[in-house]
Amino acid sequence: MEYNMNATMEFDFKLFDHLRPLPRVIEIDTTLLPDPWPEFCEAQRIRVHAVLGYENPAKHIKIWPACNIVGRGIQRGAHLNTDTVTDSSSGNYVLGLNRVLHAVRNRYPDFPIIRVVSVVPRNTPQGKLDLLEAAGIEIEFGEDSLDAMRRAETLAAEHGWWYTRQYWNPDNTEAYGPFGSHVAQSLPNVGIFACGVGSGGTCSGVIPALREGLRPHGSNLHAVAVVVESGSAVSGVRTEKALKPGTLDWRGVVNDVRYIRLEESLVCSAALWRCDPGSSVFEPCYGGESTGFALVGGLLSASALANMNRLGTFRRPDGNVHLGFIAPDMRDPYRDNFAKHGIFF
């Protein structure tokens, strides 16, 4: 298939297969979690499983929406009449866009989009800024995530750039259908599933596909959206206020919303890095800030169910409650944030 830079085109999504392998699911050693969770998990017979969204060339889950948004945008001709794409982001999504566009240009050398501009909040970790700069992505700053959204929209309107609108774009949600279906196949006993909310795409896409995949097993699901507590900041996920401008229906697909702070996210994430090297069952999970964040939210929701005598509703024939959560990215870009809280690697 030849590419015509002046026309819309059908797009072969197989071009992206190497960028988005289906995720592995690993079991977590709950005895290494921070208190009170080891005792709680033992008493309630809860087994914990991490979905590794970072095991791909981009090392983060945002490669999934980047692939779908670019492919669908090309089908609609969003790439025409400009050489620049932009969006607001905490970093991962635009890094994903950049990687996806490289793949498109490798296949179609005349593809016109050659420039990526990311509008990021000023509190973006230095490690993430370093990655953006190393990738050749131009950086603009907003005072916070809401201001970054407004600035990206303004820049796109002023210059005629392709604005991918990840917080409003249904292609974001659609991207996660295969991801959620695969989790259902890999973890058919899951009863509780927690997902951090950044743009809303992961939650609004994974949870419905996961529910549908569990239907043949007759399994019910307690889905938990995890949001940043007001006054705190966790990279890659947002407070309710920062989520309000977006329209992706993350809230409508879950049973519970939990609000988590940075400190407990970091401590839990660091606990997941540990594992008995002799274990044949467990593996470490090298997730960043929003990994422990999602798990703490899921555990708090499980605790609330236990207090209401409802946790047994999600107990499977093996006698256990299986709790899954998504590990969206790796720890490396957040080294400075962990170090500020006395956690070093």
Query: What is the reported pLDDT for 182?
Result: 98
Query: What is the reported pLDDT for 277?
Result: 80
Query: What is the reported pLDDT for 280?
Result: 85
The correct CATH number of 13-57+175-340 out of 3.30.590.10, 3.40.50.720, 3.40.50.1100, 3.10.129.10 is 3.40.50.1100
- List the structure tokens of 45: 């017979």
Query: What is the reported pLDDT for 2?
Result: 54
Contacts of 278 (CB under 8 A, 6+ apart): none
Bond before 36 cis per omega within 30 degrees? yes
The domain segmentation of the chain, as residue ranges, is: 13-57+175-340, 63-166
| DSSP state letters, 77-119 | TTTTT-SEEEEE-SSHHHHHHHHHHHHHHHH-TT-S--EEEEE
What gap in Å lies between CA 278 and CA 129, rounded to an integer?
Answer: 37
Q: Work out whether the CA dihedral 302, 308, 311, 313 comes out positive or negative.
A: negative
Q: Which amino acid is at 5?
A: M
CATH architecture of structural domain 63-166: 3-Layer(aba) Sandwich (3.40)
- Name the strand (E) or helix (H) holding 130: helix 126-134
pLDDT < 70 stretches in the chain:
1-9
The model's pTM is 0.96
- List the structure tokens of 54: 């970072």
Query: What is the reported pLDDT for 276?
Result: 83
Q: Give the residue among 179, 159, 128 at the shortest CA–CA distance from 329.
A: 128
Per-residue buried b or exposed e for 12-33, using 16+ beta carbons within 10 Å of the residue's own CB: eeebbeebbeebebbbbbbebb
Contact 44/311 with Cβ under 8 angstroms? yes
Q: Report DSSP state, residue 239.
A: B
Q: Is 13-57+175-340's fold the same as 63-166's?
A: yes
- List the structure tokens of 222: 């307690």
